[in-house]
């Protein structure tokens, strides 16, 4: 029997991810696989790599979504032209090895940017599966927001797209506050400018999402925005707004809710200690205590001789965060909220 090429590619992807998670250079043992947040020690005011060697491994990782009970962690992995959503679960106080989520097992389609609804019964995500049921197109065409819902056994039902009032352009990066305010990004397919929109969850067919006013949708480009669970602040990736930042270099900005208005954005480069690194994706823990963000910050490289430039060296570097791929960091969210004062 001939095995389909797509299935072989999928098996290769799983092997690469499992190899990275089990890299012998990582102390990947029972100690770091137990306890909240995949066994990670809670961070303070200084950003730390999240679940290093387990979730953050040196592969291109981003987009953290955590269930209300803290026992499921979803995140995105990019590998070449693949974009998939991974999940690991806390079962009997022991975290499982990350695996591809049940609804994201098609390497011809891109999946990323998972986000839970406030009740934890639905998971939203970006998916490039055509809405008309046709064959997937290459690249990032057909960007829309899809969802899966839990059945009576807590398993995910078949994926389905959100209503057309949301999916009418190129939509991505969903984020929902505890009160049901639903934020997402949309790129105008003509101007190719991204803007942040807001509607309510659950989405009503007759409700038209509103484009947020300035200063959020101001000069430059804004994308990949997340709302804090209490709805008090929004963190987004912004480029072309700060004259001291290179034009096409995205940085994290935070905007605070002040009544019905939004405050001017605050550049978070100094706060997150990520100056010179690209902003990629932000999110909060369900209780709002921790802020997660992805960046391609590189570690300080030590000098090496020509004798060190062998395959083992490059394999080790590939499987270590700070190699130039996207890594996931987390920090106490108070460092964000305190900026309002």
Picking from 189, 190, 148, 149, the residue whose alpha carbon sits closest to that of residue 171 is 189
**Residue 105 to residue 288: CA distance in whole angstroms:** 30
Q: What is the pLDDT of residues 106-156, one digit of tens each?
A: 999 999 999 999 999 999 999 999 999 899 999 999 999 999 999 999 999
pLDDT value of residue 206: 85
Q: 232 to each of 13, 179, 181, how far by Cα in Å?
A: 39, 11, 11
pLDDT value of residue 300: 67
Q: What is the pLDDT of residues 40-67, one digit of tens each?
A: 999 999 999 999 999 999 999 999 999 9
Q: 7-16, 101-110, 311-320 — which is least confidently predicted?
A: 7-16
Percent of the chain having pLDDT more than 70? 88
pTM for this model (two decimals): 0.89
Q: Return all residues near 103 (Cβ < 8 A) that are at least 6 apart.
A: 85, 111, 148, 156, 158, 159
All structural domains of the chain with their residue ranges:
5-340
Where would I find the H helices in 279-323? 311-318
Tokens of 58: 């040196």
CATH 3.40.50.300 given to domain 5-340: no
Task: Label residue 283 by pLDDT band (50, 70, 90).
Answer: very high
| Size of the chain in residues | 341
Residue 25, pLDDT > 70, answer no
Q: What's the half-sphere exposure (Cβ side, CA atoms, 13 Å) at 45?
A: 6
């Amino acid at each position: 029997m001939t095995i389909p090429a797509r299935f072989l590619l999928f098996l290769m992807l799983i092997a690469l991810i499992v190899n990275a998670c089990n890299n012998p250079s990582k102390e990947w043992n029972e100690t770091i696989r137990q306890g909240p947040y995949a066994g990670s020690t809670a961070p303070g005011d200084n950003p730390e790599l999240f679940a290093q060697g387990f979730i953050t491994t040196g592969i291109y990782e981003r987009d953290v979504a955590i269930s209300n009970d803290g026992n499921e962690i979803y995140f995105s992995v990019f590998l070449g032209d693949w974009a998939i959503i991974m999940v690991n679960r806390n079962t009997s106080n022991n975290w499982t090895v990350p695996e591809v989520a049940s609804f994201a097992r098609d390497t011809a389609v891109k999946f990323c940017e998972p986000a839970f609804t406030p009740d934890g019964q639905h998971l939203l995500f970006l998916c490039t599966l055509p809405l008309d049921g046709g064959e997937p197109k290459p690249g990032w065409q057909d960007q829309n927001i899809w969802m899966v819902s839990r059945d009576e056994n807590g398993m995910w039902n078949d994926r389905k797209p959100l209503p057309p009032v949301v999916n009418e352009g190129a939509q991505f990066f969903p984020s929902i506050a505890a009160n049901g305010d639903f934020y997402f990004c949309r790129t105008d397919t003509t101007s190719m400018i991204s803007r942040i929109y807001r509607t309510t969850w659950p989405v009503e067919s007759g409700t038209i999402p509103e484009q947020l006013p300035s200063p959020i949708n101001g000069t430059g480009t804004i994308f990949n925005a997340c709302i804090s669970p209490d709805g008090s602040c929004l963190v987004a990736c912004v480029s072309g707004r700060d004259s001291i930042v290179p034009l096409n270099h995205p940085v994290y900005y935070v905007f605070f809710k002040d009544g019905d208005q939004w405050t001017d954005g605050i550049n978070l480069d100094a706060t997150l200690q990520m100056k010179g690194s690209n902003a990629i994706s932000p999110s909060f823990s369900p209780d709002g205590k921790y802020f997660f963000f992805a960046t391609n910050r590189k570690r300080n490289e030590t000098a090496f001789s020509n004798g060190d430039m062998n395959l083992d060296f490059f394999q080790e570097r590939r499987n270590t965060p700070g190699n130039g791929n996207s890594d996931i960091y987390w920090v106490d969210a108070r460092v964000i909220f305190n900026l309002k004062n």
